[in-house]
Structure 1
Amino acid sequence: MSKPEHRRSSRVGRKATSLFLVQLPPPRHGATLVADAIRRLLEADGRVTVEHLWGGSARTIADIGRKTPGKLVGFAALLARLLARRLLGRRADTAYLSFTPWAHTAVRDALVAMLAKGVADRVLVHVHCEGLDAMIDGTSRRDAFLRRAFAGTELVAITGETARIGRESGLFRDVHLLYNHALDPGEPPMAAAGRVRVGWFGRFDPRKGVLAAIDAVAAARAAGHDIRLAIGGSPTVELDAPALEARLREAGLADVTETCYNPDEDGKAEFLSRLDVFVYPSEHDHAPLALIEGLAHGLVPIVLTQGGIPEMVGPRFADNVIDRGLPADARVRLMAARIAALAADREGLLADRRAARTRYLSAFSEEAFEARLLAIFGVAPDPARDATAPEAQPTEV
């Protein structure tokens, strides 16, 4: 059932209140970074008071997925605090939480949602990944429990496809589309000549395509193109720094590759600023922040048909979206061909870089994100401040 776009608090005479039932960094990954950005923007706006309650999650990237007594105790304490708030009649205008449908934490998220209904007038559930359709259509007792827990909440979707699934399910009180965003690094430098610089950035998870990116650049160089490669991000148990460097040597790229391990935010921005093309053939992500950051730097995307990624890059780059259903070697050949085509046409490369930057500004800038975010949290528009706010919906590029 559709609700009014802007909702004023029924508690006249004070700020709106939001109970944040979600993990904030650390660790630093997509969901925690987005939650922290939302908290920061709400607090900076000044019309929503944010109270953060959480416990029972990983404190480091390496701890994700592990079940420990400390996590159980922390989560039990969180549930106890929510029950106490309900008994005391302490209510917020909104509660904000996240949900990962496919993960072992799904039941945890559902328990939080159930209790949140008793302490907030509206419960906003931010889904950062795929799997919502499987939960909605699932026949297991777990799926039935999850549906009961989230019935009547409001879905915050980061892709149009997830929003469509949510609307058609009838499960949610309302559905909101909120594309992720990245901070604007400013107008990027775009060299009119020189070697083409191709990069990949993220967690060194083979599912995110780092090894496929290496193979594609090696194939493009073997075809005679003078291309430099850059690999940045955080090593993992599945692929640590020595293993990555061994793979670069095997591919004949050790002497033409820059590596950047565990950079801070400034280091990541500097790394991306030196690139022209962002190859991110992930088979795992739904709507990766790394891709948005690449677009912000005006990097030409080369990606797979994975999750919401084709929607993110837009129709301008349809030729750079490779069918993930193809065999791995075929995907590598097509990515290498796109890299080679860009390397052979510097003028076209510059035009594509400008188009990538425009895509970011229209769809994934902080301004577009903030305008939509405040509407979702029920903050009435301020005409004096919002008269020039951009539309949150992306324009076609």
Structure 2
Amino acid sequence: MFENNGYNHNENERQNFDLNRMNYYQPYSTPSGEQRPPERKKHRKGRNMALVLAGCMVVSGAAGFGGGYAALKLMGGDSGTVIYRSVVTEGTSSSSSGEELSVSQVVEKVSPSVVEITAEVVGSGGFFSSQTVSASAGSGVIISEDGTIVTNNHVIEGANKVTVRLYDGTEYDAEIVGADSKTDLAVLKIDAEGLTAAVIGSSDSLQVGDTAIAVGNPLGELGGTVTNGIISALNREVTVEGENMSLLQTNAAINPGNSGGGLFNSKGELIGIVNAKTSGNGVEGLGFAIPIDTAMPVIEQLISQGYVGGRSKAGVTLVDIQDFSTAMRYGVQYLGVYVYSVEEGSGAEKAGLQQGDCILEADGEQISQVSDFKSVIENHNPGDTISLTVLRDGRAKTLDLTLDESVPEQPEVQTTGVLQ
């Protein structure tokens, strides 16, 4: 029967890097079942954080941060989470306002804000073993004094347990507040107070040639590693696992384990979340980071509601069949985009879509691969109705599909309490 190949990226887009040349930055993984080193002092994670955006802005003077910073307060229960943003005086750029620091001064300032992350995935061990445990490692950045941490979605995706290690060596169990595969961002929460939070800078005001300093956990075992360089390009279009992303490019060395770590400017402000690197032979100095001005609206939604709202979904899983050998394997006659499964209760089910339908058109657009269908869905809001033409039993059939809002299920993460 059908296999779920997910959404395929458009390989013909101008200036995009194909994943064969620009491999998605993979977190460092240990062999399946390998024992982890003895754990250090660990604290149990605290309450769930259903944080609601309160929109409270407080401005205060702070030398070295563009003349000041703003405290964005996110309320959760009886406590408040404060994220500090830099404030740049009107008419100035990132390279001309505030106090420029040396690399060593930036490192001293920001290192306590960067954490090491270990994600454990428990899987079936097959016939001879009850279960296996694999671990991957990455980095993260503290953005509030009460333990809110930003990382990449791919660092913690599928994890049953997430551990955060601070700059001082203290370890905490972490809760996954929210994650978003489209933007490759995730938010964690640990039960801690009085942490050193990064000050959020501005990526929109960056210029090519500005200083870029990366701090992270390369290879999953070299936490606190610092590399520096410049901003090599702005708004670089890179295709990452089928998602077209507009990223900052830097020649600061990026290695496995840096995923989710911080990219900082010469004033020690967070300007990007590292998420990709090159892996081609003979190529170096091409690292990428999610611009912080792109990341923050996503981060705020993940904090407030656990997902990014306003996105549409059809309620189907699709598969591309682009050659005749694949068509024979799936037992279909024509090439094209086929429905692999239909989500129960979704707009697709209500519209009458069935497994095995070949989608010919959506909203008047010809559909030849999954990415075509995905683009149509992304250009509509939840509640919109689009017309589909499908091929079923050799005949074309027209269906009206009302789109739902995409609300992902939140992963369950285990905690183990305090280890002395």
In the superposition, the TM-score normalised over structure 2's length comes to: 0.25
Structure with the bigger percentage of helix: 1
Q: Which has the higher contact order (CA 8 A, sep 6+)?
A: 2
More strand by share: 2
| TM-score normalized with structure 1 length | 0.26
